Amino acid sequence: MGIEYDGTDFHGWQTQSGVRTVQTALEAAVGRVADHPVTLHCAGRTDAGVHALEQVVHFETTAFRSERSWVLGTNVNLPHDVGVRWAHPVDERFHARFSAMARHYRYHILVRRTRSPLQHHRAVWVHEALDLERMQTAARSLVGEHDFSSFRAFACQAKSPIRRVLYLDLSERDGQLVIRIGANGFLHHMVRNIAGVLIAIGRGSAPVDWTGELLEVRDRTLGGVTAPPHGLYFVKADYPAEFDLPQVESADSLQRLAAD
């Protein structure tokens, strides 16, 4: 399934006792359609407050339903802030997490002197000007395969800090600055830590070459502030063509949807 959700009122993706999570809500809804309990696995677990435009999940079922029935039946049983975009059968070789070849994120920053009530949970507000050119220059150091130890959370459980960033682009339109990043995988808080570093560089409170220095020192204690979660969007994951997953709106249209 392809899932879209507003992470504002969720305590992240993963089921936790006593709190509201995306996984718990979805498993309850899908289970009602399947008429048996299900366990969902996702492409990339998101933290509290983080949104998703096309999170991919898989589950095993003995039920036979049409793709339309899975989508409509699940959505009827979901709260307003999470929904199924599509459903598609796959064989047992598929795994939402381990079959993914790459993942893509966006980070939205509202750059203006006054806060926006309409984007309070949709973008991070920065009231002073950011130097886009400085941020773009700094971002180039992070593209490619590197040890991202300086950009991972202390609680990160990944066995290796090595990741390959496929692209890292920044653009600005109508006061909205968007960081676009894709990689073969991400460490815990990696995108938010990168965003925090680039914002500091854009403000002029850190040098442009700070990104390269952080890659070299491989020390999270020197890595700056973790940017807030509500500016982060999980956009999509890439899978081998053999699984023939549905194609949805382009990344650009998804970005505009998030900005709106």
Same domain, 149 and 58: no
Same domain, 107 and 213: yes
Asked whether 20 and 8 are in contact (CB, 8 A), the reply is: no
Same domain, 134 and 224: yes
Same domain, 120 and 228: yes
What is the pLDDT at residue 247?
Answer: 86
pLDDT in tens, 80-118: 999 999 999 999 999 999 999 999 999 999 999 999 999
Which percentage of the chain shows pLDDT scores above 70? 95
Same domain, 44 and 108: no
Tell me the C-alpha to C-alpha distance, in Å, between residue 156 and each of 134, 161, 255. Answer: 29, 9, 28
pTM of the model: 0.93
Same domain, 87 and 190: no
Same domain, 68 and 111: no
The Cα–Cα gap between 23 and 38 comes to: 11
DSSP 55-87: EEEE---S----HHHHHHHHHHTS-TTEEEEE-
Same domain, 109 and 187: yes
What is the pLDDT at residue 224?
Answer: 80
Q: Which residues of the chain have pLDDT under 50?
A: 250-260
Range 204-220 burial, b when 16+ CB lie within 10 A, else e: eebebebbeebbeebeb
Same domain, 137 and 107: yes
What is the span of the domain harbouring residue 147?
Answer: 102-234
Q: What is the CATH number of the domain that holds 39?
A: 3.30.70.580
The domain tally of the chain equals: 2
What is the pLDDT at residue 252?
Answer: 47
Cite the active site residues.
47
Same domain, 226 and 157: yes
Q: What is the CATH number of the domain that holds 222?
A: 3.30.70.660
Same domain, 229 and 247: no
Same domain, 229 and 109: yes
Half-sphere exposure of 149 (CA within 13 A, CB side): 11
Give Dmax over CA atoms of the chain in angstroms: 58
What is the pLDDT at residue 47?
Answer: 95
Grouping H, G, I as helix, E, B as strand and the rest as coil, residue 29 is helix
